Structure formats: C-alpha cells, structure tokens
C-alpha cells in the first residue's frame, strides 16, 4: 500500500519505528518496533508470530479480523487518500480515464467493461470521499494483496 501511495521509504537501516503511531511510518515492516512483552492486540489479529520464541515455519492463515481491520482502520484509508492525491490522478476530471489510470497503476491492467461500469456507477457522486472509498476497495482486493 505504501508503494501504491507513492510513500514507501526505501532507505535501509536505522532505528525502528512505531507501527501504530500517527502519522504512520513509511518504512518497510522490517523496521517496525515490536515490544516482546506487550504485543499489540492488532498484531494478534494478523496471526503475528510470538516474538520471544523461535518460529521455524509460519502457517498461512487468513482470519476475518484482518480484512475488517484494514476495511475500517485508519492506515488503509490514509493510503487510499494518498493515492487519490497523486499528481497522476488529481488533475484528471474524466472519471472513466481516472478509473483506467488507477487500474493500470494498481493492477497493471485495464479494467474490464463490467469493472468500468460498476466503478462509474459507484463514482457518480464524484466527490473526494467517494474516490478514496473506491481506491481503498482496489487496495484491499485480493488481486492487489496476493500474487498469482
């Protein structure tokens, strides 16, 4: 999401950062601070490995709390807003062209006719809030999250 929002900090090394403190950090996850004695509940929602013991292998799990956290949490909302504010989209007034640009940037493909029709129907309001909501939906879709 940070990459899509044009915000990923690619610097290597340095001090760890708080993952939950606003403004949200632009650092990769490897640089996030983990308190081994007080693991945040949010990380437990994401089936985070217990940090004070070894984990030779990780189970691949998906639990409903993960999707609900991202759908309702401030991080995904902020990244979607940053995507909408990128110069590539902010100056485009034609909703169809904007949707096509978003698909090409986020999914590396054009929207199919059904996706375009649904997008244009949803974006009839054409307000910033509606665009942020739409982009958040694109960022949380399986196509963005998982590689085939």
**pLDDT tens digits, residue range 36-91?**
778 777 777 677 777 777 777 666 666 677 788 788 889 899 999 999 999 988 88
Q: Is residue 52 part of a domain?
A: no
Other C-beta atoms within 10 Å of 1: how many? 20
Flag whether 79 is in a domain: yes
Name the residue range of residue 124's domain.
69-145
Does residue 99 lie within any of the structural domains? yes
How far apart CA 119 and CA 122 sit, in angstroms, is 5
Q: Indicate whether 45 belongs to any domain.
A: no
State the alpha helices, DSSP H only, in 86-127.
87-90, 95-106, 113-122
Q: Higher model confidence: residue 18 or residue 103?
A: 103
**Is residue 117 a part of any domain in this protein?**
yes
Dihedral sign, Cα of residue 120, residue 90, residue 8, residue 24: negative
**Considering the domain boundaries, does residue 137 fall inside one?**
yes
**Residues 113-146 pLDDT 10s:** 999 999 999 999 999 999 999 999 999 998 987 7
Is 21 a member of any domain? no
pTM, 2 dp: 0.78
For residue 23, name the pLDDT band (cuts at 50, 70, 90). Answer: confident
Phi, psi for residue 94 in degrees, rounded to 5: -80, 115
Return the DSSP state at 52. Answer: T
Supply the DSSP symbol for 10. -
**Residues 119, 97: Cα–Cα separation, whole Å:** 11
Residue 95 is assigned to a structural domain of this protein: yes
- Look at the chain and report how many structural domains it folds into: 1
């Amino acid at each position: 999401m940070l990459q899509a929002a044009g915000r990923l900090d690619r610097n290597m090394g340095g001090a760890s950062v708080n993952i939950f403190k606003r403004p949200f950090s632009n650092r990769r996850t490897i640089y996030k601070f983990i308190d081994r004695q007080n693991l945040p509940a949010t990380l437990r929602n994401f089936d985070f490995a217990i940090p004070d013991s070894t984990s030779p292998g990780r189970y691949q799990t998906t639990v409903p709390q993960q999707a609900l956290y991202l759908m309702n949490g401030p991080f995904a909302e902020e990244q979607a807003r940053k995507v909408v504010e990128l110069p590539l989209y902010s100056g485009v007034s034609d909703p169809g062209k904007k949707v096509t640009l978003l698909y090409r940037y986020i999914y590396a493909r054009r929207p199919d006719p059904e996706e375009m029709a649904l997008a244009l129907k949803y974006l009839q309001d054409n307000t910033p809030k509606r665009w942020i909501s739409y982009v958040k939906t694109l960022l949380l879709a399986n196509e963005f999250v998982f590689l085939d």
